[in-house]
Structure 1
Amino acid sequence: MATIAAATPEIVQPKVNPIHLTDTAVSKVREIMATQDPLPAGLRIGVVGGGCSGFQYSMSFENQSGMMDKVFSFDSLKVFVDATSLMYLNGCVVDYVETLEAAGFKFENPNTKSTCGCGSSFSV
């Protein structure tokens, strides 16, 4: 009598993006994108040198990705991140917040060692 081995299902870990945009941030980006003519292909998020702590976040609209970009999708919103910026943004969560004092995009980055007093720049 032959024994039949039960097939062991393959365990597949969900792919986790190294950067995450909250639903609120995606909604706000889409709202702003809708006012652009022509409609951009997606959002570029990056890290650039500058500010009093060394680095600043940058956000801009793009019509296409670059050769060295990683492209992430959040509810079909394309987000382009260059390879160098991705090193600094790994694990970062981007949210959109509105308070009585201000409204804007907020970066929660586990890689930062310190931020400046105004919160617009950081160091790693």
Structure 2
Amino acid sequence: MAMRLFIAATFAAATLVGCQSASENTSSAEVDDEELAMSEEMPWQTLGADQWRRYGGEGIPEAWQISDDGVFHFTGEGEGGDIITVEQYDNFELELEWKISPAGNSGIMFRVSEDHDYP
């Protein structure tokens, strides 16, 4: 009986300590000053046409059209090719909607290097 009481008391104490330390942790929804400063420097917005370029070159290939709201359209007219951002990012969130025809051959690559002819 004493052993059961000891085990129950130990379990209760461990549970209370666990709850206390969990409440002391900061919420993932909270933003610290450094993150806030970074978000003010780099507003969360779509990247405009001037922030993209051809992989291994300059400018955007003719077949790519980018609307004012940051939507890419591949027209199929003129030279195509891969496009990448002008800047390199250590930390980013990628959100997109992707529409491709059945049996289409397209993809998204990230964290690529221009050390090779192809990404």
Q: TM-score if structure 1 supplies the norm length?
A: 0.24
Larger RCO: 1 or 2 (CA < 8 Å, sep 6+): 1
Greater gyration radius: 2
Structure with greater helix share of residues? 2
Structure with greater strand share of residues? 1
